[in-house]
Copies of this chain bind each other. A is one copy, B any other.
Amino acid sequence: MITASVCTIGDEILIGQIVDTNSSHIARALGETGVRVTAMTSIPDDGDRIVADLDAALRSSDVVVATGGLGPTKDDITKPALARLWGREGWYEHAGQKARVISILHSRGLDVLDVNLQQAMVPEGCDVIENKLGTAPVMVFRFDAARYGHPATLYSLPGVPYEALGAIPDLIADIRAHYPLSDIRHKTLMVYGLAESALAKKIEAWEDALPPQLHLAYLPNQLTGVRLRLSAYGMEEAAAESLIEAQIRALRPLLGSYLYSEQDDTLQATIGRLLRGTGKTLCAAESATGGMISHLITSVSGSSEYYKGSITSYAAEIKEKLLGVEDEVIKTKGIVSKEVASQMAEGARKLLGCTYAVATTGWADKTGDEFEPAGTVWVAVSGPEGTRAARFQYKNGRERNIERFAASALNELRLYLENERQLADKEVTKQKSLIC
């Protein structure tokens, strides 16, 4: 198997100024291509260290992907260090990247300075993948087998996260073109409402019976649930796809309505797909989630087609005045209750004139009250076929609880949209299975 090291360069990482997210994105893309990442390191802005550490990485890996250290001020250190490691004296100007540098600066209304044009200068004999999003090019150094005992390639990517992310497809294409990678096929299923361990138990027998060419990975995330990735290694495309499809057919009934998407997806994007083009509209009424549900829904590009807006009724008086929650209900059932959540959803739906409304009321970090303990949220979804409510309880800190409340609400909305009937049956059991 082809192996890789990922190296990030920059003092700002070693002093803890920034969290390195590039390594994770690069490692995931390499893994999905069939390249095994065996090491990740962060290196300070120090020429000797850059040369020594990349040299060691190239000795032990087929591919080394370095990011960072290429900003206009740091260029003095990193690029000469790469040239020193590469072992050739000369430099050349890359015409394509030079044109990009000029066009990028012009589009930002900035003058083109010498220091900017320097970014298009690269060591002799290195290949360039043009950076469409920034001024620093991706440099590719292909070392022959004489140097490290095996052919080794060093890729130098920009450190700015969105530029690094943008360069990943070209990086992967270049690796594919130069290394004999065994074919890998992936299929991703998105699951919400089961903790990773409960999910593993639920599909244990199915997983144990997987054919050896298939590998299953669990990738949990607080806001999107568990991403289940099934991969086929070293098979012909058609055979891999039919093998995967046969297994997915057996898996679907086990997952039931916990399965919300068969592509790499979020709950809010799934909700968008369910609503787009239907003419139906959505709104929200938030208390404990404080705006997060609305923020997640509107993070989907094109959400203005179906999303009209929301009321954050943080104060009880706003719940009463705008959403029509009854004071009597708050007093007798509690502000965190099925009844208040339901009245919030119904009130928002009426006030904002939407087909559907989702509402939350909960205790994110307070001590709770005589009706409900801290960590409890009531979620309600209201629509043409009535109002459904569900209760969830979590035991995290304030910020994580708010995220979980919001994700639970989006999932209830997704379930309502998918199948109102199914929801009613599961209301009671769900309350128990999700306490974690």
Q: Which residues of A contact B (CB under 8 A)?
A: 13-21, 23-31, 37-44, 108, 162, 217, 219, 284, 286, 289-299, 301, 303-304, 307-315, 317-318, 322, 351-353, 365, 395-400, 402
Contact = CB atoms under 8 A, between A and B. Distances in A.
A295 B304 contact: no
Contacts of A318: 308-309, 352
Contacts of A217: 15, 17
A37 B25 contact: no
A298 B314 contact: yes
Given A31-B15, A291-B291, A291-B295, A309 B314 contact: yes
Contact of A108 (B15, B25, B291, B395): B395
Q: Is the interface of A mostly helix, strand, loop or mixed?
A: mixed
Contact of A291 (B25, B310, B400): B310
Contact of A292 (B28, B40, B291, B309): B291
Contacts of A295: 289-292, 294-295, 402
Given A309-B312, A315-B304, A395-B108, A299 B15 contact: no
A38 B14 contact: yes
Contacts of A296: 291
A314 B322 contact: no
Contact of A322 (B31, B315, B351): B351
Contact of A27 (B15, B27, B292, B310): B15
A311 B311 contact: yes
A322 B162 CA distance: 38
A171 to B, nearest CB: 13
Contact of A20 (B24, B284, B317, B400): B24
Contact of A19 (B19, B38, B43): B19
Given A24-B20, A28-B15, A41 B44 contact: no
Contacts of A27: 13-16
A41 B41 contact: yes
Contacts of A290: 294-295, 297-299, 303
B24 A18 contact: yes
A291 B301 contact: no
Chain B CB within 10 Å — which of A290, A313, A395 has the most? Answer: A290
Contacts of A286: 291, 294
A257 to B, nearest CB: 25
Given A16-B25, A309-B313, 6 more contacts: A18-B24, A19-B19, A284-B312, A286-B294, A291-B292, A303-B314
6 contacts: A15-B27, A18-B24, A38-B44, A286-B291, A309-B318, A310-B311
Contacts of A298: 290-291, 312, 314, 402
Contact of A16 (B37, B352, B397): B37
Nearest to A29: B16
A181 B402 CA distance: 40
